[in-house]
Homo-oligomer: A and B are copies of this chain.
Amino acid sequence: METDALSTTLAALADPTRRSILQRLSEGPATVKELGSPFQMSGPAISKHLRVLENAGLIETSQVGQTRPRTLQPAALAPVVDWTESMRRTWEVKHDALATYLADIQERGTA
């Protein structure tokens, strides 16, 4: 099993319930009970999803009085954005080079 940070983050995001939880947390901190209420899911099942998100650094648990609200850690998304952006750029450069090459050939053909 590979366990590099980016793979761990992507695996944590590869689940619709976990993405919904992050979407909810992007509105502000929430407790396990608040996070669980939109889903037809047991407390332990939600807690398991939260553990996966916390292991990936995407959320943090704090202590406020008797409650332990979860908070989004948006910085953990940066490597995902960086990787997809880098792929897009490489692809565009390659695509532009190909387009230039084809235009060049065509120009020589019609000159």
Chain A residues within CB distance 8 Å of chain B: 2, 4, 6-8, 10-11, 13-17, 19, 22-23, 26-28, 72, 74, 77, 80-81, 83-84, 87-88, 90-91, 94
Interface of A is mostly: helix
Judging by beta carbons under 8 Å apart, are A81 and B84 in contact?
yes
* Selected A-B contacts with CB under 8 Å, 15 pairs: A2-B17, A7-B15, A8-B14, A13-B83, A22-B87, A23-B87, A26-B87, A26-B94, A27-B90, A27-B94, A72-B91, A74-B91, A77-B84, A80-B80, A81-B84
Would you give the shortest CB distance from A18 to chain B, in whole angstroms? 9
Copies in the complex: 2
